[in-house]
Structure 1
């Protein structure tokens, strides 16, 4: 759905390109998170996709169409965009803010009203309570939800997210991530996400692209990235605890069940291997029982964390399905 081919941006007078020869594909209905140090070109890349920044070279295709050939304003109206600062119009109601793109697209009033109610409900905001409120009457988390609702209002096939949860506290951020993840599964949007938070990247991204000094260093499914960093820079950037991060991506159902008896409460099907490891540490055991029978052994969890688990566990997505190919890079 999103294809970057040799995409480059050079700022006048700069010593090097902000983004250099970036080739990357985000298949339809999947999400890709861009991470990297400050100045690595993440946000510039995102802004080139909706042409807030024009590429100096390269090609950009969205849904197979040349996105650099047409009107950039019309392109932006076909792409949802969520930013950290939200950018709500302060004197407009929540409903008015959410209706921005549908109005620009010329939708009839009845269709706009119905869509506003629909996306507010999708993002956990009761239309009866929130539609008439002004942004200053909302909490930070509520404003961010409105920002997501506004980005979804025109039903765009592509959604761009630039540090979308950076301005809210960690507790609210976790809840918002869960709700956005639910929406991404439900709506099957094609998503390009910029974040400095590795846990957020691997939680929300089917694939993760690591940038350094404007160049793509590695692009892979999140579990594969954490198991096999491409080089020392990627390994250091991911951190020494990357094995634990990887365990959080793999559900207990991805590993074989053992017949050995284990004591204590059973872990549910949706639990992760990190949940299983935490339960073993808390109970002082080497195995935990699983819902539906059988148990999970410590040695199997450790093997998964080190990348030695069976291959079927390597590509497991957050939905328990095989990840789509990462493409590019």
Structure 2
């Protein structure tokens, strides 16, 4: 669990706080996405959780313990941290990079080797232990970054624009894979992103910030259906109904209308189904697990 209480950061000489009195809670085993315009304070908020930035006021609670009363170095060793640039050590192998925190924690060599193999398997990179960062693609480097963050088995994971450096074709797949993994492991996740669609995919809840203030903190469906202010509505975009369709699996609207052509995979969303209908010029598309999705049902869902 992560709980922020009145979290504030006022940089010396600044006319106003970059983060002002933010309070929110991320329940254990769930994820929250921080999003907002550039300079809104989302990365500063994230970095105050592991004390890379020291708060000017307020409290940070992790698992019921006051993070501001703990040794910051020890605190960071119990929090996974993934950044856009990944930050792999270029002169170290993948295994050595992944082993960074376990080594700092004083684990023995056999335990470290086993854990490195385990997390590389988890992120889909078995057999990569001896490679160097320059031998990896952008997506592979990001997976190594996630593996490194998970190596010490931290209960909390912080992610700052984790997929920003990955090409668009691979980003969604990587998002899905990492999110599935984190949910299976029961991690509590706070993630910063500038992309609305990514926030909706990664967050069980989404917090929208503006000029250091928290404007709304709600589930993606609630946020898209009921934005609290005009700014929130404008920030989420005029295509909120389409974005909302991306939150629901196509199989959740299974019908029995006749449909031909390639079936949608189990992970397809209602937005995917609508895109396929428009591309094919049909009013229904088949589902891989049987049945079909009908245009009228999708449009009705978008309107509610």
TM-score under structure 1 length normalisation: 0.87
Quick one: distance in 1 between partners of 2:201 and 2:94?
Answer: 28
Gaps (5+ residues) in structure 1?
309-329
SS at match of 1:192: strand
Q: Within the alignment, does 1:278 sit opposite 2:275 as a pair?
A: yes
Q: What secondary structure sits across from 1:68 in the alignment?
A: helix
SS at the partner of 1:111?
helix
Question: 2: CA distance between counterparts of 1:295 and 1:174?
Answer: 24
Structure 2 partner of 1:244 = 242
Distance 1:123 1:19 in 2: 34
Q: 1:191 aligned to 189, 192, 195, which one? A: 189
What is residue 230 of structure 2 aligned with on the other side?
A: 232
Query: Distance in 2 between the 1:277 and 1:117 partners?
Result: 41
Q: Deviations over 1:145-202 (max 9, x none)?
A: 1111100000000000001111222123223212212212221110000011111111
1:64 and 2:64 aligned = yes
Gaps of 5+ in 2: none
Aligned match of 1:52 = 52
Q: Which residue is equivalent to 2:299? A: 302
Q: Is 1:119 matched with 2:119?
A: yes
Q: From 244, 260, 265, give the equivalent of 1:264.
A: 260
Instruction: Report the secondary structure of 2:276's partner residue.
Output: helix
Q: Would the aligned equivalents of 1:227 and 1:305 in 2 still touch at CA under 8 Å?
A: no
In structure 2, C-alpha distance between the alignment counterparts of 1:267 and 1:97, rounded to whole Å: 38
Q: Deviations over 1:54-101 (max 9, x none)?
A: 111111111111111111111000000001111111211111111010
Compare 208-217 and 220-229 and name the one that shifted more: 220-229
1:18 lines up with 2:14 in the alignment: no
- Per the TM alignment, residue 269 of structure 1 is displaced from its structure 2 partner at its CA by 4.7
- Give 1:298 deviation, angstroms: 2.6
- The verdict on how the C-alpha distance between 1:292 and 1:143 changes in structure 2, with shifts beyond 3 A counting, is closer
Structure 2 contact 7–20 (Cα < 8 Å) conserved = yes
Instruction: Answer yes or no: is the 8 Å Cα contact 1:77–1:101 preserved in 2.
Output: yes
Name the Cα RMSD after superposition. 1.8
Which of the numbers 170, 174, 177 marks the counterpart of 1:176?
174
Q: Secondary structure of 1:249's partner?
A: coil
Per-residue CA deviations over 1:270-302 (Å, capped at 9, x if unaligned) read 432112222332343434455666554333312
Which is worse superposed, 279-288 or 200-209?
A: 279-288
Contact 1:252 1:271 in 2 (8 A): yes
Distance 1:292 1:170 in 2: 28
